[in-house]
Amino acid sequence: MGSYTLNLRHTYYMDIITMNTNTTQDATPNAITAVMESSLTAILQQTFSHIEDNPVTMSSLEIAKLTGKRHDNVMKDIRQQLEELGQDALEFQGNYQDFYNRSKPCFNLPRREVDILLSGYNTKMRAAVIDRWHVLEAEKKLGVIEIPNNLVGTLKLVLTLKEEQTMLTQQVEALEQQLAEDSEKVDFYNKIYERDDLLNPTKAAKLFGTGRSRYLQYLRDHKILMSRPHQQNMPYQKYLDAGYFEVKECGCYNDKTGKREFKALALLTGKGLIWLQQFIEKNGRIGL
């Protein structure tokens, strides 16, 4: 994900320096310095030799996080794009471990493919991903370093790289922690989204920490449910079409007539539960 761990161990340097110094016990200080410079320079050159060959990529999981889209929808967008471009999806396919340590598929895209993907997203989504690209490319430039040809400069570079390594390691650990937490949330929402059982107003109200009457009034106030006498508490058609509610005929006992009657009842779906939670977060809980 654009991070490069520079494994610069002080003991490793000192072992090589000590070994070379032992072979030049009778050498002048300048000769010893030359050996140390040569050893450190060789190590640094070997360290950076592979970095330029590794292109910066961005995973579909990170794109989903940055854009706020579901990961499966981002995967679908990428597959469709690669198919239209005539590119082999296997070239970009990767894997990640979810919260339950299961291996799940993802895509790792270079800059060109991500730019093409973003052309179909809105401005806010594009801006979030582009900002992240700037960070990744800045980290990539750490690999383009001119190696000093003197001992003092080389040692300063080692110390600088060690500090940058620590900083990047902390950033990677924080990002991995965030991705693990996000993966747990995604799995949780996917389970709710795909749940088969429907929630009646009483059960739904409890999930939102309120009572049945206040829950229904809140939905009526926000024009989600109707207020008409003969269609009271029925969802407006657009919310039915979106799959947020299902209307079922339920039997109930009428205390006045003493008879069992049937009436329509709006039941919240798993998809609707996620949507309503986001709706409440956006519009506030006043009235609930």
- The domain limits of the chain are 58-142, 201-283
List the chain residues with pLDDT less than 70.
1-54, 139-155, 157, 178-196, 251-255, 258-262
* pTM, 2 dp: 0.35
What pLDDT shows up at residue 253?
63
At 9 the pLDDT is 39
Q: What is the pLDDT of residue 225?
A: 92
pLDDT at position 154: 66
- Per-residue pLDDT tens over the stretch 63-77: 999 889 999 999 999
The predicted structure's pLDDT at residue 7: 38
Tens-place pLDDT, residues 87-117? 999 999 999 988 888 899 999 998 889 888 8
Residue 70 CA to residue 94 CA, distance in Å, equals 17
Q: Which run of H or of E encompasses 94?
A: strand 93-97
Task: Write down the pLDDT at residue 33.
Answer: 53
How far is 258 from 238, CA to CA, in rounded Å? 36
Instruction: Specify the pLDDT at position 1.
Output: 43
Tokens of 160: 């600088």
Residue 153's pLDDT is 67
Burial 174-203 (b: 16+ CB within 10 A, else e): eeeeebeebbeebeebeeebeeeebbebee
